[in-house]
Amino acid sequence: MLIDQVTKAAHRAPLNGLSAPENAMEVEGPWREVFERTEGQGDRGADGQGNTVRRSLPLSISHSRSKGEESQAMSLPSIPNPFPELCSPANSPVQIGSPLGQGTVPASGTHVVKVFGEDSRSRSLWVPTGATARDICHMLVQTAHCADQESWALIELYPNLGLERCLEDHETVVEVQATWPLEDDNKFLFRKNYAKYEFFKKPMLFFPEHMISDSADVTKGMTSSELIQNLLNSGSCPEIQGFLHVRELNRKPWKRVCFFLRRSGLYCSTKGSSKEPRHLQYVADLEDLNIYTVTNSRKLYGAPSDFTFCIKPCKNRARSRDMKLLCAENEQTRTCWTTAFRLFKYGMQLQCNYQLSQSTRKQEGAQWHGSKRCVSEASLVAMDFSGKAGGRVIENPKEAQSAEHEEGQTWRKKTALRYSLPNACQSSHSASVHQTQAWFHGGVSRREAQGLIEEQGLVDGMFLIRESQQHAKCFVLSLCYKLKTKHYLVIPCEEGGRKYYTMDDGDTLFIDLLQLVEFHQINRGILPVCLKHPCVRVAL
């Protein structure tokens, strides 16, 4: 009886919010991180029934008891907990409670959020109740020691259904996680997403003129360019229209229907592309829905193309019968619909998120260059160091332009200083220097390379280099341009007894892949756009 009363007192110890799983260990620091423990760790005892339990947890002894005995036990004076340091969530490394995901979020406290990297490893973090996706990304950038802090995103995944979406920077992560059923395998993924706010920079690429409608009273009579400019200035979005393939409920065939996306919701026309009210059918309200892209949609849902997306209720469990599957004809059309959906749902909030990300980026850049002397291009002058008397300033503009052109043509023929002494070690280093670069992805296939680039945003200048599967000893540069992935073969060749790489039949030679990338980061060359964003994978 004494043990039972001690147990009840321990159970009445206040819990600060939702606690972590039983096998979680807390480490103090700028934030708190949780590491998984094996079941065999920790001290253990035995209960009255022979089951092993942790000694740091309250011990519960269950046996049959009459109501009279129960009331008598409850009327006895409570005995203070003799082990408060073992039962208090604030002081004990072992927390008690149920994991998140029951559909309810306590008003305060800290919670465990588990985030996966692209290498399938995970990291569990203590986060406050109000932590946003921006906060989590900032935390992971520091813990994973990422080389840059730009364009990271938190992705919500439904692996069984093939759904994924990028959480907005202002979304509360704990609230999103609370909508997940415990039996599902939903998870958060930490990766790059360069296209999160790209539509603010290149709106004409995301909103084709034939998909913009001016039927709204406030925008009637405006041209497509004026509508897009109004989008940038006010954070609003013009009406979007176009044909999409839709799969009806509990039916396999896909039907081509004209849809209209307005601030009031999503509509479809029952008669071609007619906008008459009698032909418009209400489909969904944007406020209570989230939009997801669908991966492997041909296999999972028999979609007519790979450019599938869906809308589903925010708080309901993800089930096939609650999903509205839509399929576009190309990537640009799908991107337009998903971007317009975000703008209609969040409005000015997206613009505020974009401005905050830009200001944060400028502050980080100022801190990075704070200890360095800032030199503007206006203070740079052309110099000539070919004479014996030392360098001289080139004052003639034509001579300076000629020198710049000549330097641009001859620099690639000069061997870098690290390769100036020909020996076996440097030759070996030159041949393998690309293997340590973040943009090199080994022997991934063409399809896998396209998938990696699509996952990280499909913005102009995103690239990776991989080994060619069709040509021995060759490489392939995969580059994104205008929402499409192009592939360029990198061929090894020899000149003067030395090995080089080229993409233009030997007109431009590079001593290694690193020099090739560095050159095309500042010179477009034969490419449609300079290399800008390396497609990287981060390990948590």
The string of pLDDT tens digits covering residues 398-452 is: 777 776 666 655 544 444 434 444 444 444 555 678 888 989 999 999 999 999 9
Our measurement of the distance from residue 369's CA atom to the centroid of its chain's CA atoms, rounded to an integer in Å, reads: 27
Residue pointed to by tokens 């990287």: 536
Residue pointed to by tokens 């030392």: 390
Residues of the chain with confidence (pLDDT) below 70: 1-108, 147, 214-236, 249-250, 316-320, 362-391, 403-431, 540
Per the CB < 8 A criterion, the answer to whether 181 and 99 are in contact is no
pLDDT at residue number 323: 86
**Nearest residue to 43 via CA among 56, 24, 61, 34:** 56
CATH of 198-352, one of 2.60.40.3880, 3.20.20.20, 2.30.29.30, 1.20.1260.10: 2.30.29.30
pLDDT at residue number 80: 56
Model pTM above 0.75: no
Per the CB < 8 A criterion, the answer to whether 345 and 287 are in contact is yes
Our measurement of the distance from residue 184's CA atom to the centroid of its chain's CA atoms, rounded to an integer in Å, reads: 21
Burial class (CB in 10 A: 0-12, 13-18, 19+), 394: middle
pLDDT at residue number 514: 92
- Mention every residue, 6+ apart, whose C-beta is less than 8 A from residue 370: none
Tokens of 22: 């039983």
- Mention every residue, 6+ apart, whose C-beta is less than 8 A from residue 391: 383, 384, 385
CATH of 422-534, one of 3.30.505.10, 3.40.50.2300, 2.60.40.1120, 1.20.1050.10: 3.30.505.10
- Mention every residue, 6+ apart, whose C-beta is less than 8 A from residue 299: none
CATH of 110-192, one of 3.10.20.90, 3.40.190.290, 3.40.50.300, 2.40.50.140: 3.10.20.90
Per the CB < 8 A criterion, the answer to whether 288 and 282 are in contact is no
214 residue type, one letter: D
**Nearest residue to 245 via CA among 227, 264, 225, 268:** 268
Per the CB < 8 A criterion, the answer to whether 139 and 132 are in contact is no
* 453-464 b/e (C-beta count within 10 Å ≥ 16 → b): bbbbbbbbbbbb
278-292 pLDDT, tens digit each: 999 999 888 888 999
Cα R_g (the chain), whole angstroms: 30
Domain positions in the chain are 2-87, 110-192, 198-352, 422-534
